Structure 1
Amino acid sequence: MKKAPLTTRILRIIMPLIAVLCIYLWAPWQAGLMYLSPLPDSIQEQLDDAIKYDLDGIVVYVQQADNAPEFYAAGFNNRDTKTPADPHVLFKIASISKLYIAAATAKLVAAQRLSLDGTLAEYLPELANRIEHAQSITLRMLVQHRSGIFNFTDDPDFPWDNMPTHSSELLEFGLDKPAEFAPDESYQYSNTNYLLIGNILDKTLGYSHHRYITEHILMPLGLSRTFNGPSEVNIAELSSGYSIGYDGDLKTQPHVGASGSMIASAEDVGTFLRALNDGSLLNEQEQAIYASIYVFEHTGLVPGYSSIARYHPDIDTVVIQFVNTSGGNSWTTTEVIYGRIIKLLHQR
């Protein structure tokens, strides 16, 4: 058999070494150690080990091909009462909510009630003088985070310790700011985009987009454990949420607005995500529109909660991971854990 070129053989040797070095230099050392440690024999063992890395509780949902879903949990739902983590608990899914907003947008575009080429100034003329380039920012750019509009959570004065209780209050932190770039010239994730989309949906529908999502997305999929915001939820069913360096429970902290207010169980998110990916949620026209404007997976992060929702086509598997800890190095840790779970699934 012909040998690979010398340079190729050298690269095969040094590239793993470079990867290891990068982990030690840039990743938090605990996450680096976890990344390098041998894989356990099961997902449950991985979750049990994950709790050692400053995480309070973790829930994982796995649904592969036509198989029944699998549920895993470790740690605490409430660390003060030592209530064990429950894989069916409700969770603040934060920016995973954007998938539902994008799906609703695609449906309304297909119904010709919205146009992706309609401008922000046309849809929300009352805000045209408060957003730079409003005359040329389109709905498509808002959905795709290509508007250049300032992200309201990046405002240094944003009150993380006293969160606004109405989306209009959130929006104020994104208005009257210089554009980050000219419309469609670059990409920058901005929660303000989705607050504005929520307003556009409300104005177009003549009623709350929350109702539209419930009637046209949640109900057809039979999702009874998904809610548009905290006001719809029995607080006792919601997981506690914690942030490293803060002692209190963050589950009563308000989260409003189309950028990330939804609450759901891991199973409901998994059911939605599979339907979004396999085309059973949207009709052919809607699916084509959605595919042209947004992604089919998402992560979420708000104080006290971090989440990952992804479909892995190579193994036809949906994996949802909820962690009720934020802050510190917790996000890097959650990403490493998720990656290890995927490796375990590939070994089946």
Structure 2
Amino acid sequence: MKQTKPKASKGKQIFRIVLLVGTCISLYFVPWILVKAWILPLPKTVQEQVDQTLSYGFDGVVVYVDEAGKPPAFYTAGYHNKEEKIPAKPNALFKIASISKLYVAVAITKLNHDQLLSLDKTVADYFPELVGRIENADKITLRMLVQHRSGIPNFTDSPDFWKNQPNTNIDVLKYALDLPANFEPNKDYGYSNTNYLLLSRVIEQVTGGSRQDYFKKEILIPLGLKNTFGSIDEVNLDDLMSGYYVGIDKDFKYENNGMMIATAQDVGVFLRALNDGTLLNKKEMETYKSIYEFNHGGLAAGYQCMAEYHKDIDAVVIQFMNTTDFEGFQWNLLQITHSRVVKMLEKAKKQ
């Protein structure tokens, strides 16, 4: 006797329909530009890959590659300034945003070994006036600040920070004061720009000078870096790459927010020195390894960048892209396009 397959129950049929509809809706909202950027075959050259990024909405791109045993290579696409149709420049200055945290971590490490500060002292030790205004100030150590384990709220998460852009003549620390901690000190990880704002002020407190002065003495001059600056006040603005935000008709390079500025090559030389031990002595390197990372990205209005050292191919790759957006797709595209450059270098290394 022929057996027939039992029909699915009405409930299961409804579930399958709902699942199918949900899948279709999910696919509708997939940012296909990210999928495209990820699955496209790798081009034959890094320059082709850099050129390709312009089709994703970037106005200008600079990529610096330093492979051991080879001269540094520079790749550009798009515009240094799109209004004036000035092509992207390999030696352009760029706002490096949170890549500056690497410089701060190096400075804190050196000052600790020179016994000018202690990683185990607290925020209250250096800023007694913040007791009662930053929760757990008497328990949060400098080490926790470096490691983003303080629990102090991130001042850039405050709506008022963005409402008052560019926060000229405002102490942005105020956006993190008198708020509950995100977690107990050293009990969790929470990336917070407030941590590094406080660390920068500790550097200035214990050295008696500006943060940039200390960077010059201990990092820039020893490495021969002449194109790394503390803010736009120190540079010719024509040399600074313009920065754009999708949907906003404005050049963000004119915003003076005290952000570090450098060329891709200067960042690349610094990053190699940090990773190969040139910048830190043996004891300093042991400390640094225990408190912070060796690669970093940076994101600010109009500017996003990535600085990475890849040990397996002994190569430094720095990428600057002068376009950002509200949704974060441009940041995802930066990560994807950066990883594709690295894959191309890895592939070439094996051949």
Q: TM-score, normalised by structure 1?
A: 0.90
Assess if the C-alpha contact under 8 Å between 1:227 and 1:263 holds in 2: yes
1:336 matches 2:336: yes
Q: Could you say what the CA RMSD is over the residues aligned between the two structures, in angstroms? A: 1.6
CA distance in 2, matches of 1:99, 1:204: 19
The DSSP-based 3-state class of the residue aligned with 2:35 is helix
**Bigger RCO (CA 8 Å, 6+ sep):** 1
> Given residue 208 of structure 2, which amino acid in structure 1 is its aligned partner?
G
Q: Which residue of 1 aligns with 2:266?
A: 268
Q: CA deviation at 1:268?
A: 0.2
**1:79/1:160 CA distance change after superposition, 3 Å:** farther
1:135-175 superposed Cα distances (whole Å, 9 cap, x missing partner) = 10000000000000000000022136621235x61111111
The DSSP-based 3-state class of the residue aligned with 1:220 is helix
Give identity over the alignment, percent: 50
Assess if the C-alpha contact under 8 Å between 1:28 and 1:332 holds in 2: no
CA distance in 1, matches of 2:143, 2:29: 35
CA distance in 2, matches of 1:62, 1:45: 14
The DSSP-based 3-state class of the residue aligned with 1:307 is strand
Assess if the C-alpha contact under 8 Å between 1:59 and 1:87 holds in 2: yes
CA distance in 1, matches of 2:27, 2:220: 43
CA distance in 2, matches of 1:217, 1:191: 22
- Find 1:296's aligned residue among 294, 298, 307: 294
**1:116/1:237 CA distance change after superposition, 3 Å:** same
Q: Which residue of 2 aligns with 1:73?
A: 76
Q: Which residue of 2 aligns with 1:202?
A: 204
Q: CA deviation at 1:24?
A: 6.3
Q: Which residue of 2 aligns with 1:143?
A: 146
**1:111/1:54 CA distance change after superposition, 3 Å:** same
Q: Which residue of 2 aligns with 1:122?
A: 125
Q: Which has the larger radius of gyration?
A: 2
1:287 matches 2:285: yes
Q: Which residue of 2 aligns with 1:9?
A: none
CA distance in 1, matches of 2:341, 2:164: 33
Q: CA deviation at 1:228?
A: 1.3
**1:161/1:61 CA distance change after superposition, 3 Å:** farther
Q: Which residue of 1 aligns with 2:104?
A: 101
Q: Which residue of 1 aligns with 2:237?
A: 235
1:275-328 superposed Cα distances (whole Å, 9 cap, x missing partner) = 000000111111111111100010000000000000000000000000000114
Q: Which residue of 1 aligns with 2:213?
A: 211
Q: Which residue of 2 aligns with 1:244?
A: 246
> Given residue 131 of structure 2, which amino acid in structure 1 is its aligned partner?
A
> Given residue 115 of structure 1, which amino acid in structure 2 is its aligned partner?
S
Assess if the C-alpha contact under 8 Å between 2:80 and 2:241 holds in 1: yes
Structure 2's unaligned 5+ residue stretches are: 1-23
Number of positions where the alignment pairs a residue of Structure 1 with one of Structure 2 = 322
Q: CA deviation at 1:25?
A: 8.2
CA distance in 1, matches of 2:164, 2:62: 26
> Given residue 64 of structure 1, which amino acid in structure 2 is its aligned partner?
E
Assess if the C-alpha contact under 8 Å between 2:95 and 2:303 holds in 1: yes
> Given residue 263 of structure 1, which amino acid in structure 2 is its aligned partner?
I
> Given residue 264 of structure 1, which amino acid in structure 2 is its aligned partner?
A
CA distance in 2, matches of 1:275, 1:235: 28
CA distance in 1, matches of 2:307, 2:185: 29
